[in-house]
Amino acid sequence: MQAIVFEEFGGPEVLRLKEIEEPHAGPGEVRIAVRAIGVNPVDFKLRRGWFEEFMPTPLPAVPGLEAAGVVDEVGEGVTGFARGDEVVGWVRGGAYAEYALAANVVRKPAGVSWEQAVALPLAGETADRVLRELDVKKGETVLVHGAAGVVGSLAVQLAVARGAAVIGTASSANHDYLRELGAVPVAYGEGLVERVRAVADQGVDAVFDAAGFGALPDSIELRGGTDRIVTIADMSAQRLGVAMSPAPTTTPEETAAVIRTQLAGIADGTLRVRSDSVLPLAEAAKAQQRSEGGHARGKLVLKP
């Protein structure tokens, strides 16, 4: 099968399209004939070797943690899924390929596209988890940094559904989009504290940093301390005393339930995800380069 492989750590140029041996479903796994692959910031961070201390990557490696497609092999002990089922989930051994293995998948509703479905496993779980960690309640005001990205835009919608008021930071090009999602948009960068205070004179109750571009000092000033601030992307968090939430804290079954609910929301139109680019698998380096630039306006997707 064709797959994207990197044999050393480095920039996007280390990614190569190669012919490698097909994987086969082991106990507890299904094999997916891949229709769409999610590109996430964690992909380029692993490729650069930045997570080696706590998430070692044996080389050569196939990148990617989420895929959507059709079940074509069912391993021993798997119940509830059969060949031909359309699913989306978390991949073992790399998603940037024509076939991928997964032990935790959910069914894709008929009304949800492959591109929409593959936007959810990582981003949807992350948005739900951080809002729970922040304990966002009805009537509170939440500040979301990076609100136009996939995680941020899902967080905006989930917080609004909880009855919270949401302020979202984004470039001016994304402000209309944030208004459509129910957020009050503000521009990021110098003067952020004053702009937020101008639209939230009672202050903000919680801060969700999905951007990781130096917004934590302003967030601390707005909160008057580090309480109820969570980042998923700013590596200065520990030095500043801010909580970081890098990985799921729920069981696979609980995580699957979250994504199942969000897929239903996409199917019935109560939840939205936006695509930035859909590229062929061979252009994985281009997709990761755009992800690393930090200006993707929605989900980056690869298709075999």
Q: Which residue has the tokens 């190669």?
A: 18
Distance of CA 155 to the CA centre of its chain: 11
Report pLDDT for 212: 83
First to last CA, the chain: 10
Report pLDDT for 214: 87
To the nearest 10°, the Cα dihedral for 20, 25, 26, 28? Answer: 140
- One pLDDT digit (tens) per residue for the chain, 304 residues: 999 999 999 999 999 999 999 999 999 999 999 999 999 999 999 999 998 887 899 999 999 999 999 999 999 999 999 999 999 999 999 999 999 999 999 999 999 999 999 999 999 999 999 999 999 999 999 999 999 999 999 999 999 999 999 999 999 999 999 999 999 999 998 999 999 999 998 899 999 999 988 899 999 999 999 999 999 988 899 999 999 997 787 889 999 999 999 999 999 999 999 999 999 999 999 999 999 987 788 999 999 9
Tell me which CATH homologous superfamily contains domain 2-119+273-303.
Medium-chain alcohol dehydrogenases, catalytic domain (3.90.180.10)
Q: What is the mean pLDDT of the chain?
A: 95
Report pLDDT for 130: 97
**What are the residue ranges spanned by the domains of the chain?**
2-119+273-303, 123-244
Same fold, 2-119+273-303 and 123-244: no
Domain 123-244: give its CATH code.
Answer: 3.40.50.720
d(CA 104, CA 256): 7
Q: What is the pTM of this model?
A: 0.94
d(CA 68, CA 65): 11
